[in-house]
Amino acid sequence: MSVCVVSVVSESPLEVAAELIALLGDTATEPRADPQLEALTLAVAADLPVLLWGEPGIGKTAALTQLAGSLGLPLTTVIASVHEPSDFSGLPVIGDDPAAQGVPMAPPDWAVRLARAGRGLLFLDELSTAPPAVQAALLRLVLERRVGALRLPAGVRIVAAANPRSSAADGWELSPPLANRFVHLQWKHDHDVVVRGLGGTWPRASLPRLDQDRVPEAVAFARRAVCGLLAARPALVHLLPDNEARRGGPWPSPRSWEMALRLVAFATAAGTSREVLSMLVRGTVGDGPGLELLAAMDRMDLPDPEAVLADPAAAELPERGDLRQAVLDGVVEAVRRRPDQARWDAAWVLLGRALESGPPDLVVVPASTLAALRQAGWDIPPAIERVAGIVSLSRRADRAAARVAASGRGR
């Protein structure tokens, strides 16, 4: 009688460790509102280079890895600070007859792999620790997508990441020419996103859905907005900051305004929120010019003061306080430029409607200015009575507040 012995071979400790690590990396994604991720994906869709600024360990690299996976793009990571300038400008290769054929600049292997794939996400990490010579070599790569003699395919998108100089290892300020080629996004961690992500579910990155029917309208709107602002504010066309640190961030130039115009068009076609659009335009031309552009876009949708004066009872007033104030001020200014009794009366009708449908404090200044425009012989319209009461009450409140402040200073 024979006895069969079955031996059980247990997995090695490293194999068990690998299984554990694989389980920890097995995460899922879910749709979730994330403005900074939405801003990143819209800039990627617009084929503009993006630079993520954030403290170390905040998740910039993880966000790019997840973005590449969600979009189905192969991710190529290049640590800019550990490369030589020739790694981006190309290495000279002498051929059979240099005098006749010249010396071509051979691209590195990562660029060749991207060219062969035809698409991908090129991630330039640690950009703020790259010395000036490397930053100079990156200029052509970021703007023209050329590495040596090789041109990267149109399907390749470029995203970079950098730490502020205060927290970067041997950090450098970004050179103004390189900084002006990026859309700068401040990357911050969201507590809820981190907690849920560590639990196994991260936000899903997806490209914005562009409404094809709105594309022509979006382009026209973006051009009107940017060109209208720059026509009124020519000093904003090119404004290189005096401060070295600010030169390494977003600032206005013809190049960055062209990027802002593209972002406005994409955001309009995608129905992007104002918060996301604000992040993008301020990250392209800077905070001040970006906010001016947003304000100009808001004013583009305001009704014509002359149309409002022609039919004040049917005019639609904006809900937002700043836009409503702009409409009221515009109507009063129109009366000041061409005063007559009928236009003056129509403005009071509008102020009365504004008082009924919105905060009364927005009416005080326009009403005071309009009252001062009255000319001899003009009758007082019925609509003025209630508005005048609000103005008088506001003035009494201001005088009372001034007396209280004065008594407090005298103690």
What pLDDT is recorded for position 121?
Answer: 94
Token pair in block for residue 43: 């800039």
Residues 6+ apart with CB under 8 A from 219: 265
d(CA 89, CA 299): 45
For the chain, domain boundaries: 31-90+106-203, 212-300, 305-410
User: CATH assignment of 31-90+106-203, given 3.40.50.300, 3.40.50.10190, 3.90.1010.10, 3.30.1360.80?
Assistant: 3.40.50.300
Residues 6+ apart with CB under 8 A from 32: 193, 203, 204
**Helix, coil or strand: residue 53:** strand
CA 93 to chain centre: 42
d(CA 178, CA 158): 13
What pLDDT is recorded for position 374?
Answer: 87
What pLDDT is recorded for position 13?
Answer: 87
**Helix, coil or strand: residue 169:** coil
Alpha-carbon torsion, ordered 257, 51, 279, 62, to 10 deg: 160
Nearest to 189 by CA among 60, 61, 31, 42: 60
Nearest to 83 by CA among 136, 37, 35: 136
What pLDDT is recorded for position 298?
Answer: 85
Token pair in block for residue 149: 């003699």
Sequential pLDDT tens for the chain (411 residues): 555 555 555 678 898 999 999 998 888 888 888 899 999 999 999 999 999 998 887 878 888 888 888 888 899 999 988 888 888 887 777 666 666 666 677 888 899 999 999 999 999 988 888 888 888 889 989 988 988 888 999 999 999 998 886 655 556 788 899 999 999 999 888 888 888 888 888 888 788 899 999 999 999 999 999 998 998 889 999 999 988 888 999 999 999 999 999 999 999 999 999 999 999 999 999 999 999 999 889 888 788 888 889 998 888 888 888 888 888 988 999 999 999 999 999 998 898 888 888 888 888 888 888 888 888 888 888 777 777 666 554 454 445 445 545 555 555
What pLDDT is recorded for position 338?
Answer: 92
Token pair in block for residue 301: 């949708």
pTM here?
Answer: 0.75
381: Cα within 13 Å, side-chain hemisphere: 18
What pLDDT is recorded for position 104?
Answer: 72
d(CA 336, CA 328): 13
| 148 conformational bin, left if phi > 0, alpha if psi -120 to 50, beta if neither | left
Token pair in block for residue 371: 């009252």
What pLDDT is recorded for position 393?
Answer: 47
What pLDDT is recorded for position 396?
Answer: 46
